[in-house]
Chain A
Amino acid sequence: MVNIAEALDNIRLLDALGEEKSTVHALHPLAKLFVTLVFLIIVISFSKHEISALLPMVLFPTIIITLADLPVLPLMKRVLIVLPLVIGIGIFNPLLDHRPMVSLGAITLSYGWISFISIMIKCLLTVITSLILIATTGMTNIALALRKLKVPKIFVLQLLLTYRYITVLMEEVILTTTAYALRSSGIKGIHFKHWGSLLGQLLIRTIDRAQRVYTSMCCRGFDGNYNTGTMPTLVAKDYIFMLFWTLFFIITRSFNLPMLLGTILTGVYP
């Protein structure tokens, strides 16, 4: 997350997507949060040498992306940015574990490679699904769901305020660093001498801004409560959504469906 303009772009995209209307967007935020968490828990609970059994889990993001009309490329781009971190740790598995696990003709894959591929698939699935949650729900609705889960209002309010001001402060940082860059040719980044004053000035401005924010909140009747409006209740479709996917995930976790399919089609009993 180095490029600030890109980060800003990403937040705006996800924010805009969260405002869209679709069957998935219409679901209760709590139902989506619940299914997402179950999905993530089930995905990471698969053993580290499991690949085929994991694959049916791809169904969930595929269906949601399609139903919610989400653009695939920007989401995949995020995965690509996160992937190197996971590869960095995962790549040691094929280097350290050479025991052969499966052989397909002339190719023999070691335990290390299998676990590496498994980590990659898990990374892809978990990252995409987390992004899908925010892209189909939006931050305000996530906050609603958190309040419904009895998360203290101080935290939820604080989370929303941080979120609200991220774009504002990012713009301010862009302005400041651009102004700095324009006046200091040949220096990449911020010179050591100016670390304190640059960040310090930004910090002082931020605190002044917070004071203004607080004053205007008080002028508008802020009494420590964040009024989120009426909370929609969970209806039948939300329960069906939760039940269907939870069942699907549990079945996928309990039986190796692709192996079953492969066995039926090839006539080979493992």
Chain B
Amino acid sequence: MHMADALITPIVGGTMWISTAGIATYSIKKLRLNLDEKKVPLMGVMGAFVFAAQMINFTIPGTGSSGHIGGGLLLAIILGPYAGFLTMASILTIQALFFADGGLLSLGCNIINLGFYTCFITYPYIYKRILNKGYTRLRLFTAAMIASIIGLQLGSFSVVIETLLSGKTELPFSSFLLLMQPIHLAIGIIEGLVVASVVDFIWNTKSEIIENTAINKPIGVIGFKKILIILIIITALTGGILSRFASSNPDGLEWSMFKVSGQEELEANGPLYETLSTLQTKTAFLPDYAFKNTEVDKSTSFAGLVGGFLTLLLVLSMGFILKRFKKRKKVNC
């Protein structure tokens, strides 16, 4: 479910980055208030645990296939929502840096999709609400299952919205939704079962680990509404401001170009253009290849193809020459 950079626009990526930064800052503030620096090493090692546990194949009974865990809900249960969210954020950062699993610009999207909904929506509003009535095995399984499923549904719905807002895909909203939601329903069920089995095991063997965060201590009334409001305001504001830049033009860069040069696209006029066009008539190696009077479309395609090909060739040979040059320098040393 990791979003890739190639599928988003800077506006969507930027908005989600700023929202993530807002929630992370809030979480850090909350952590500082309640904590105990003791939790930081636990967060670090737990992050590494989830990272490694994501790679375990859990065989799905009755089928030949296997499932994996996402980890957001489990982290919230063990560490609490604030530390859980931050830990999830660092896992996703490392995945983006080392595995290109989700890009750097789409990191904000991924942290919201995989960390926010589980830690700040389904954990407090579903998991804890159900388990607050007292621990039973049935309640635990129900709570973990519903929380996982809804968390993943919200996450994958976000993926659809973010991709569609970026406009890179032609997929219509409904088809995209039909493609994403059912798959994540299945993934959610497996994740819910794994999380419930683990929590059940821990509850029976070393219950003190989850007592604090899972059942007894209320997280407090404050926080969640506030954080939701913060998120909505931040998203609306940044999205609004950023899309302002983009609304009159396809992107912010053209907007800034307009501001800088006073024109939307730099027109080819003036002495430089004259010189270039004279140069062009002299250097054109295919001067008779005159599409000029035929179809504009074809000629542009041809010029683009030749230019693109040559650019690539130029760029790669620059790399090659540089390498040769470096080698020679090394030999001389």
Contact = CB atoms under 8 A, between A and B. Distances in A.
A112 B171 CA distance: 11
Contact of A55 (B97, B296, B303, B308): B308
Given A173-B53, A204-B202, A266-B289, A130 B45 contact: no
B284 A36 contact: no
A44 interface: yes
Interface string A234-270: 0000000000000000100111111111111111111
B283 A265 contact: yes
B49 interface: yes
Given A7-B99, A209-B45, A267-B280, 19 more contacts: A40-B103, A44-B105, A52-B305, A58-B315, A63-B322, A67-B326, A86-B7, A92-B169, A104-B302, A115-B168, A154-B28, A158-B44, A165-B49, A206-B48, A213-B41, A254-B266, A256-B307, A259-B303, A267-B292
Nearest to B281: A267
B52 A264 contact: no
B203 to A, nearest CB: 9
Contact of B205 (A47, A204, A206): A204
A200 B201 contact: yes
B300 interface: yes
A157 B55 contact: no
A144 interface: no
Nearest to A100: B297
Interface residues of B, number: 121
A256 B49 CA distance: 47
Nearest to A160: B44
Interface string A27-41: 000000000110011
A126 B284 contact: no
A159 interface: yes
B281 to A, nearest CB: 7
A104 B298 contact: yes
Contacts of B55: 1-4, 7, 170, 173
A73 interface: no
A263 B98 contact: no
A123 B5 contact: yes
Interface residues of A, number: 121
Interface string B255-280: 00100000000100000000010011
A92 B38 CA distance: 49
B242 to A, nearest CB: 12
Nearest to A269: B292
B99 A266 contact: no
B310 A130 contact: no
Most interface-central of A133, A202, A268 (chain B CB within 10 A): A268
A168 to B, nearest CB: 7
A126 B25 CA distance: 27
Given A66-B323, A152-B25, A266-B289, A158 B40 contact: yes
Contact of B57 (A52, A115, A162, A189): A189
Contact of A56 (B253, B297, B315): B315
Given A66-B326, A104-B298, A266-B286, A126 B94 contact: no
Contacts of B284: 264-267
Nearest to B2: A85
Shortest Cβ-Cβ A-B pairs, 9 listed:
A161-B44, A262-B307, A196-B197, A200-B201, A162-B47, A267-B284, A258-B307, A189-B57, A262-B303
A85 B22 CA distance: 29
A185 to B, nearest CB: 14
Interface string B12-35: 010000000000110010011000
Contact of B97 (A1, A112, A130, A198): A130
Contacts of B303: 259, 262-263, 266, 268, 270
Interface string A174-205: 00010000000001111110011111111110
Contacts of A130: 5, 96-97, 100, 103-104
Contacts of B305: 52, 104, 262
A155 B90 contact: yes
B26 to A, nearest CB: 11
B311 A55 contact: yes
A200 B198 CA distance: 5
A265 B52 contact: no
A195 B197 contact: yes
A155 B86 contact: yes
B319 interface: yes
B307 A86 contact: no
Contact of B48 (A162, A255, A263): A162
Given A160-B44, A164-B44, A204-B209, A123 B6 contact: yes
Nearest to A96: B170
A270 B99 contact: no
A224 B37 contact: yes
Interface string B69-108: 1000000001000000011011101111111110111000
